[in-house]
């Protein structure tokens, strides 16, 4: 990285954020993003699924309205495949709403266990 600065990294995985952002924007042969596949496989709610959902949207907010080769958005797939209510609600956000909420707001609303775990960790470190 230029001028000796360290790349900004994900707080949990320590993966450089620019790499994660690129990966969350890559499409497969069906024109699907990781968000489309998450929507197809999200029938049962878990705290990790909620966290991954928020993380993926935070890394590619435009995925909320991105259509695959069949013309489906992640929300279309989630509804068709019987995804859990929490993921359908998260994928129902517009990019503008997601930007307005930001990562912290989305975590607090859609992945509260991850949000409070992070807040507790910050408090312990202080």
- Pick from 3-12, 67-76, 109-118: least confident: 3-12
Helix orientation angle between 112-125 and 95-110, rounded to the nearest 10 degrees: 70
**Rounded to an integer, what distance in angstroms lies between the CA atom of residue 81 and that of residue 28?**
19
The whole-model pTM stands at 0.80
Given pLDDT bands bounded at 50, 70 and 90, which one contains residue 14? low
Total number of domains constituting the chain: 1
> Per-residue pLDDT averaged across 50-72, rounded?
94
Containing H/E element for 86? helix 85-91
**Rounded to an integer, what distance in angstroms lies between the CA atom of residue 47 and that of residue 69?**
30
Q: Looking at residue 3, what is its pLDDT?
A: 39
> Per-residue pLDDT averaged across 32-52, rounded?
92
CATH code of the domain containing 31: 1.25.40
Full domain range(s) for residue 42? 2-125
Dig out the tokens for 5 from the structure: 């600065």
pLDDT, the chain, mean? 87
């Amino acid at each position: 990285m230029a001028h000796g600065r360290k790349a900004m990294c994900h707080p949990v995985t320590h993966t450089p954020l620019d790499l994660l952002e690129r990966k969350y924007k890559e499409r497969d042969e069906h024109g699907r993003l990781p968000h489309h596949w998450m929507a197809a496989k999200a029938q049962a709610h878990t705290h990790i699924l909620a966290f991954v959902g928020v993380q993926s949207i935070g890394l590619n907010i435009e995925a909320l309205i991105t259509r695959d080769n069949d013309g489906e958005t992640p929300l279309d797939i989630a509804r068709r495949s019987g995804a859990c209510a929490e993921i359908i609600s998260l994928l129902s956000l517009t990019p503008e709403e997601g930007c307005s909420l930001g990562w912290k707001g989305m975590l607090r609303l859609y992945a509260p266990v991850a949000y409070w775990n992070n807040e507790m960790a910050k408090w312990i470190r202080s």
